[in-house]
Chains A and B, each alone.
Chain A
Amino acid sequence: MLAYGPTGLGSRGGRLARALDLHEYQGKELFRRHGIPVSEGRLALDPEDARAAADALGYPVVVKAQVLTGGRGKAGGIKLAESGDEVEARAREILGMDIRGHVVSKLWIERASDIAREYYLSLTFDRSAKKPLFMFTTQGGMEIEEVAATSPDALVRLHVDPLEGCHPWHARRLVYEGGVTDPGEQKQIAAVVQKLYDAFVGAEAMLCEINPLIVTPEGEVRALDSKFTVDDNALFRHPDIAELRDVSAADPLEALAREKGVTYVKLDGEVGVLGNGAGLTMATVDVVTFAGGRPANFCDLGGGGDAQGVVEALEVITRDPQVRAIFFNIFGGITRCDEVARGILQAVAQMGLELPIVVRLDGTNAEEGRRILGDAALPNLSTEATMLDGARRAVELAV
């Protein structure tokens, strides 16, 4: 399973929110619109819903957890059901299940498929080549990372020049080099290749993955799963896709942060980390870790960081009950340290914050910022001169 999503681009502070991962059922709907064959299915939110969907589709069906993470099958989130009672029972088991921290609240009920062969097809961004990259293998049905590692020759890779677009020769080359021999299959897979490119460009996707791409005993080719990740930056011209964002699937604090325009990532320790800019925030998380601490979360104020932004970011990180101390690491460029200092004081006053706060300010107007904080003389607020000293102090206070 591949991804390149918010997540895949990953864990990169301000860059976390750059892509929108779609659920399987949403990706399949986009596939269907572009003419890629998928099985008929319906969405269900409770066991009764699931039974009604299955009754309408006809048995057997597959009950599939809709969560934005991989490993659903291994976690028991995908089950076959032969009857209405069985569908209800499976739905009951899967709904509410925690799969890698994602709680299942939606099910996709789909007509079960007979599978003769399983292939793999994806189209993604190759950041280095700066071109879309197709990957295809007839060795589907196993982890694609494993295919890449154990039999790299079986994984066919083909770049597409974005100015040229995807032509029939691209599809032919993938199919022939992948070793598909049956003419009927060749033709159908070649069609899927071109339609996948259309879907990728049409939705301005970062990743479109079909794993597995199956062949039925009757020789029909069909997409049995979808991983579809769309570029956040392009959503302004794809309102129909933008509204597919599943707000409930995100961590509630991450959703709150998104609403407030700051980037927030939940971790598992005790030190709340606030920085400005993705790189500096990440470096701050590193330094806290090197100082022997465990970051509880981190929040990137972004390039701006006015007083109101600081208040909102503090609101987000202090809602996490694990936070025992806060480390503010600000390097003022465009951000002015005096503004940040005022924001901190305003937030502490407004929220009645009693948690220890360590502040390190440097760069534009840093002296004035430190003076403002010094004059306020708050018992729970201290300043440190360097990033390393600030991290050490915050870690001590969090114990």
Chain B
Amino acid sequence: MAILVDSGTRLVVQGLTGSEGRFHGLRNRSHGTNVVAGVTPGKGGQDVDGIPVFDSVAAAVRETDANTAMVFVPAPFAADAMYEAVGAGVRTVVCITEGVPAHEMLRLHAFVEDRDVSIVGPNCPGALSPGKANVGIIPAEIFREGSVGLVSRSGTLTYQIGHELTQLGLGCSTIVGIGGDPVVGSSFIDILRLFEADEQTEQVIMVGEIGGDEEEKAAAFIEAEMSKPVVGYIAGYAAPPGKTMGHAGAIISGSAGTATAKKEALEARGIRVGKTPTEAAQIVAEIVGG
């Protein structure tokens, strides 16, 4: 049944009347997403290629039963847009906007923590369930429908790995780009939990990169709570160590945050890790092939 977005998705695009919002909103619709509304304050009553535009998310939800929001508004207003969507009762909010201040995200995260809401992003490519719905900027053409769940901190790297999977004849249940900002809504663990519970998903590939300790935490979660096989990939083995001034992240987490440290942390939990996108996809293929 895929996760986050599927055939039951009724999408409201915040910022649909802007050039990016329009381009991707219509592109998502052409891939089968049920785009039911747009929101731009002051432009209520207009439409974008037949999609009605409302002044507020509350009005859009009332009139169209929207249940998912995609945020395409400029960075200074993106947090406001996310609060508005949550306040209007939207349960899944995907924020594509790049450049949202980290302190805004800290407060937003604290606000939604005890609410039954999924925030994906900001600064992420969104979520795609091939054959069902595409919410964001992931090029759907690269992917096929199937049983592999893909979760990633990076955009283009996600496409690269999706391409490798497709070349090997593998399809995906859902592809989720969680974004690479210091504070994002959904973490690896949040998405892994959804994949574990999803009937369509049989294997998962997790695409991480250097910095922070999300991959290490995910490794512990996978070992303790997941029955489905997970394959890892980490970008940044050759990243320059001299570029870091210090080790705040390392002191907080006890991990060095390097690609090698992450690979070792994953492998110590019995998770296989590919050193290149190609190798990671091949490991998934091996698992699928039994």
Roughly how many angstroms separate A161 CA and B213 CA in the complex, as a whole number?
20
Q: Which residues from chain B contact A12 at a C-beta distance below 8 Å?
A: 180, 209-211, 236, 239
A100-B242, A331-B160 known; A8-B248 Cβ under 8 A: yes
B244 touches A265 (CB 8 A): no
Complex interface residues of chain A between 357 and 386 (CB less than 8 A to chain B): 362-364, 386
A204-B101, A265-B240, A331-B156 known; A2-B247 Cβ under 8 A: yes
Roughly how many angstroms separate A282 CA and B250 CA in the complex, as a whole number?
20
B207 at the binding interface (Cβ < 8 Å): yes
CB closest residue in chain B, given A69: B245
B238 touches A131 (CB 8 A): no
A216 at the binding interface (Cβ < 8 Å): no
Roughly how many angstroms separate A124 CA and B102 CA in the complex, as a whole number?
12
B157's partner among A8, A70, A279, A334 (CB-CB below 8 A) is A279
Mask, B45-73, CB within 8 Å of A = 1, is 00000000000000000000000000000
Mask, A169-206, CB within 8 Å of B = 1, is 00000000000000000000000000000000100101
Which of the segments A218-226, A231-239, A345-353 contacts the partner chain?
Answer: A231-239
Q: How far is the CB of A30 from chain B (nearest CB, A)?
A: 15
B156 touches A132 (CB 8 A): no
Complex interface residues of chain B between 193 and 250 (CB less than 8 A to chain A): 207, 209-214, 217, 235-250
CB closest residue in chain A, given B217: A128
Q: Which residues from chain B contact A234 at a C-beta distance below 8 Å?
A: 101-104
B99 at the binding interface (Cβ < 8 Å): yes
CB closest residue in chain A, given B239: A11
- Total interface residues on A, using CB and 8 Å? 78
A334 touches B139 (CB 8 A): yes
A10's partner among B76, B211, B217 (CB-CB below 8 A) is B211
B278 at the binding interface (Cβ < 8 Å): yes
B139 touches A388 (CB 8 A): no
- Chain A interface helix/strand/loop/mixed: mixed
B10 at the binding interface (Cβ < 8 Å): no
A283 touches B277 (CB 8 A): yes
Roughly how many angstroms separate A303 CA and B159 CA in the complex, as a whole number?
12
Q: Which residues from chain B contact A70 at a C-beta distance below 8 Å?
A: 245-246
Roughly how many angstroms separate A210 CA and B154 CA in the complex, as a whole number?
33
B103 touches A204 (CB 8 A): yes
B155 touches A3 (CB 8 A): no
B214's partner among A127, A282, A334 (CB-CB below 8 A) is A127
- Total interface residues on B, using CB and 8 Å? 67
A68's partner among B76, B182, B245, B275 (CB-CB below 8 A) is B245
Roughly how many angstroms separate A236 CA and B75 CA in the complex, as a whole number?
10
A287 touches B183 (CB 8 A): no
Mask, A237-255, CB within 8 Å of B = 1, is 1000000000000000000
Q: How far is the CB of A256 from chain B (nearest CB, A)?
A: 18
B100 at the binding interface (Cβ < 8 Å): yes
Q: Which residues from chain A contact B91 at a C-beta distance below 8 Å?
A: none
Q: Which residues from chain B contact A279 at a C-beta distance below 8 Å?
A: 152-158, 180, 207, 209, 235
Complex interface residues of chain A between 1 and 54 (CB less than 8 A to chain B): 1-5, 7-12, 15-16, 18, 21
A263 at the binding interface (Cβ < 8 Å): no
Roughly how many angstroms separate A289 CA and B153 CA in the complex, as a whole number?
22
Roughly how many angstroms separate A68 CA and B141 CA in the complex, as a whole number?
45
- 8 closest residue pairs by CB, A with B: A279-B154, A277-B156, A279-B157, A3-B245, A3-B246, A234-B101, A289-B238, A280-B156
9 of the cross-chain contacts (CB-CB < 8 Å) are A3-B247, A9-B211, A10-B239, A10-B243, A11-B239, A126-B252, A233-B75, A289-B238, A388-B276
**B interface residues (Cβ-Cβ under 8 A, vs A):** 75-76, 99-107, 109-111, 125, 137-139, 141-142, 152-160, 163, 180-183, 187, 207, 209-214, 217, 235-253, 259, 275-278
Given A295-B238, A333-B159, 19 new contacts (CB under 8 A): A1-B246, A7-B245, A9-B182, A10-B210, A18-B181, A68-B245, A128-B212, A128-B252, A145-B250, A155-B251, A233-B99, A233-B100, A282-B235, A282-B239, A286-B259, A289-B237, A289-B238, A331-B159, A386-B278
**A interface residues (Cβ-Cβ under 8 A, vs B):** 1-5, 7-12, 15-16, 18, 21, 68-70, 100-101, 122, 124-128, 130-133, 135, 144-145, 148, 155, 157, 161-163, 201, 204, 206-207, 227, 231, 233-234, 236-237, 265, 267, 275-280, 282-283, 285-290, 295, 303, 331-335, 362-364, 386-388
